[in-house]
A and B are shown apart, each in its own frame.
Chain A
């Protein structure tokens, strides 16, 4: 079957949305894997499909128009894509848990923190009834909330953004999951609070021994957290390799452009590099050819005719670009 070491393996995932009777793929042919205890960062701009991809893994797509059309999501070798809600409920929160960008909308505003935390433990563990509250409080302690005894009686609106995100993390790790999916967990937070939360995720990951799939748009966070990086653009993986090579040997023109367009504290630059144009919208995506072609500084005529495939350029480094396609005459040398 598949790679035995991988905890999560996504193979040729296509997630489509039905808009006006036509299916558009927000995620088109995404494949990558997450190994146990590894931190994989998925990075991309808004609309690149990174969130749809994470919702597909958890089977949380909007039921009326979103659907996985093709591909497999293998968790320990078992395909999650065809599972129904009942079967998924046994996995969500227990084996794979998720934290979201906006902890205010992810928590129920009319239930106390304690109630919401107990619920996870009641549903997924065999902790005795009288022990549950104690366990909830100890989980809050684990995420750095010292007044857990009081917090359990409070409502989400009484907490600050950073505290809410800590509560979310406490709930997510309640059942010692193997995989934590964090979708932009620090985007809504201030930098000093972001630093606290990132440190907490690293500490918890160490203690629980889980893998983390971190979805973000912030390359600083990627450099800080990732072991491996998956760069997405317009629903596709365009580059995948370890964190060092993403920053020091980027190959796809999009990755290169992205890295030079962010202002940096440690560098003096008068003019930032820009990527002209914007990400094409889902309904205006080119049917054939590379999806980055209109914004690519290195575009060639054939980029409009041939779909580039994700191919390995060296060990542990995959790129989706015709410049690196072995069959192409202009192919760049592997070691540069």
Chain B
């Protein structure tokens, strides 16, 4: 897995990250268990790349994104940003880290303060970090709004006056304001219609090239993730089950779950109805995940040892890592 290599070559390095939420019950609200939302993921982001994190609801991809940005405190594991350990940063150090890591959220209706003017929303990060003088602030925000494709008078309007796609542009402008190095986009287009979705995806791609951003793109829609990403990580029940180049994942999926996931996506082509792998059952509860491989109860290729031994992420091809006993 992760050799002891120079960590500064990657912008972000995550090592064996875990995030458990306590489950409380009983009269004294004692801790009676853990929801293992993220159960051991390791990944690294190169400068300027887009890493797509894909998985179904409840697989822990959002928790992973928020733990990496240090909105949540990790239960175990290490996070390195530009070679520096940020796992346990606190106070002013954590505050200054936030300049470099920004986030775009899923719901453009809930992530903008309805009582604030768009101008104030976008300038707030600049004000908070004392960037820009009062006179230059407005120009700078206007410039940003223009860059993300909003009209100039947007500055004096309120979020409710905008459509979903435009609100997402406001959220993107806010994330860009501090010129961060890493943006974590958590399902940025899943609330949007297809015709608007493509506008926002194109914008994110343009901005990434222009501002030299590294992007952690989290989504459930594999077609969108593949379009956006250089590399993709597939998550299942808190575990990263496969990591590879976007093309490689699509053309040569190794993990049975990835294979099923790709085959389950209906293709917009009536002449190409490929054979589907239909998984039985539902995703098990992360509070009580199966012993051994988390996927084995639904896996069409499960072997007896899958219920005993938990597979580790191992390289099978160049830059292609799978966590499955079939390839062990």
Q: Using a CB–CB distance below 8 Å, which chain A residues touch chain B?
A: 45-46, 160, 162-163, 190-196, 198-199, 217-224, 226, 243-244, 246-248, 257-259, 261-266, 268-276, 278-279
Residue of A nearest to B265 (CB): A191
Segment of B84-92, B139-147, B189-197 engaged in the interface with chain A: B189-197
Segment of B113-121, B128-136, B222-230, B318-326 engaged in the interface with chain A: B222-230
Q: Is the CB of A258 within 8 A of B195?
A: yes
Q: Is the CB of B222 within 8 A of A247?
A: no
Q: Which of A190, A243, A263 is B57 in contact with, Cβ under 8 Å?
A: A190
A254 to chain B, nearest CB (A): 9
* Count, chain B residues at interface, CB 8 A: 44
Residue B96 at the A interface, CB < 8 A?
no
Q: Is the CB of B264 within 8 A of A192?
A: yes
Q: Is the CB of B271 within 8 A of A217?
A: no
B191 to chain A, nearest CB (A): 10
- The CA-CA distance from A248 to B268 in the complex, in Å, is 11
B177 to chain A, nearest CB (A): 24
Q: Is the CB of A243 within 8 A of B270?
A: yes
Q: Is the CB of B268 within 8 A of A217?
A: no
Q: Which of A162, A194, A262 is B194 in contact with, Cβ under 8 Å?
A: A262
A230 to chain B, nearest CB (A): 15
Q: Is the CB of B282 within 8 A of A46?
A: no
Residue B269 at the A interface, CB < 8 A?
yes
A279: B residues at CB distance < 8 A: 193
Residue of B nearest to A229 (CB): B270
A222 to chain B, nearest CB (A): 7
Residue B261 at the A interface, CB < 8 A?
yes
A262 to chain B, nearest CB (A): 6
Q: Which of B205, B247, B263, B270 is A223 in contact with, Cβ under 8 Å?
A: B270
List the 10 shortest-distance A-B pairs measured between CB atoms, nearest first. Answer: A220-B266, A263-B227, A195-B264, A275-B195, A190-B56, A272-B198, A261-B198, A45-B193, A219-B268, A224-B266
B198: A residues at CB distance < 8 A: 261-263, 272-275
Q: Which of B165, B194, B202 is A258 in contact with, Cβ under 8 Å?
A: B194
B260: A residues at CB distance < 8 A: 192
Residue B276 at the A interface, CB < 8 A?
yes
B202: A residues at CB distance < 8 A: 271-272, 274
A287 to chain B, nearest CB (A): 22
- The CA-CA distance from A264 to B224 in the complex, in Å, is 8
Q: Is the CB of A217 within 8 A of B193?
A: yes
Q: Which of B196, B268, B278, B283 is A247 in contact with, Cβ under 8 Å?
A: B268
- The CA-CA distance from A247 to B273 in the complex, in Å, is 13
A-B contacts counted at CB < 8 A amount to: 126
Q: Is the CB of A223 within 8 A of B261?
A: no
Knowing A224-B266, A263-B201, the reply to whether A45 touches B194 (Cβ < 8 A) is yes
Residue B267 at the A interface, CB < 8 A?
yes
Q: B76-112 vs A: 1/0 string, CB under 8 Å?
A: 0000000000000000000000000000000000000
- The CA-CA distance from A264 to B268 in the complex, in Å, is 8
Which B residues, 204 to 241, have Cβ-Cβ distances below 8 Å to chain A?
205, 220, 222-224, 226-228
A46: B residues at CB distance < 8 A: 193
Q: Is the CB of A247 within 8 A of B270?
A: yes
A274: B residues at CB distance < 8 A: 195, 198-199, 202
A209 to chain B, nearest CB (A): 22
Residue B155 at the A interface, CB < 8 A?
no
Q: Is the CB of A221 within 8 A of B223?
A: no
Q: Is the CB of B193 within 8 A of A265?
A: no
Q: Which of A192, A219, A226, A278 is B279 in contact with, Cβ under 8 Å?
A: A192
Q: Using a CB–CB distance below 8 Å, which chain B residues touch chain A?
A: 56-57, 163, 165-166, 193-199, 201-202, 205, 220, 222-224, 226-228, 247, 250, 260-273, 276, 278-280, 282-283
B223: A residues at CB distance < 8 A: 262-265
- 11 A-B pairs in the complex with CB atoms less than 8 angstroms apart: A191-B56, A191-B265, A192-B278, A194-B264, A199-B278, A223-B266, A224-B273, A247-B268, A258-B195, A261-B194, A269-B227
Q: Which of B195, B226, B228, B282 is A160 in contact with, Cβ under 8 Å?
A: B282
B192 to chain A, nearest CB (A): 9
Given contacts A160-B282, A265-B265, 15 further A-B contacts (CB under 8 A): A163-B282, A190-B283, A199-B276, A219-B194, A222-B268, A223-B267, A244-B271, A263-B201, A263-B224, A263-B226, A264-B227, A265-B250, A266-B269, A269-B227, A278-B163
B298 to chain A, nearest CB (A): 8
- The CA-CA distance from A94 to B22 in the complex, in Å, is 48
B163: A residues at CB distance < 8 A: 278
Q: Is the CB of B196 within 8 A of A198?
A: no
B261: A residues at CB distance < 8 A: 191-192
Q: Is the CB of B268 within 8 A of A220?
A: yes
Q: Is the CB of B282 within 8 A of A272?
A: no
Q: Which of A163, A195, A263 is B278 in contact with, Cβ under 8 Å?
A: A195
B273: A residues at CB distance < 8 A: 223-224
B166: A residues at CB distance < 8 A: 278
- The CA-CA distance from A214 to B274 in the complex, in Å, is 21
Residue of B nearest to A262 (CB): B194
Knowing A218-B266, A219-B268, A264-B223, the reply to whether A192 touches B56 (Cβ < 8 A) is yes
B249 to chain A, nearest CB (A): 10
- The CA-CA distance from A199 to B278 in the complex, in Å, is 9
- The CA-CA distance from A20 to B262 in the complex, in Å, is 48
Q: Is the CB of A45 within 8 A of B266?
A: no
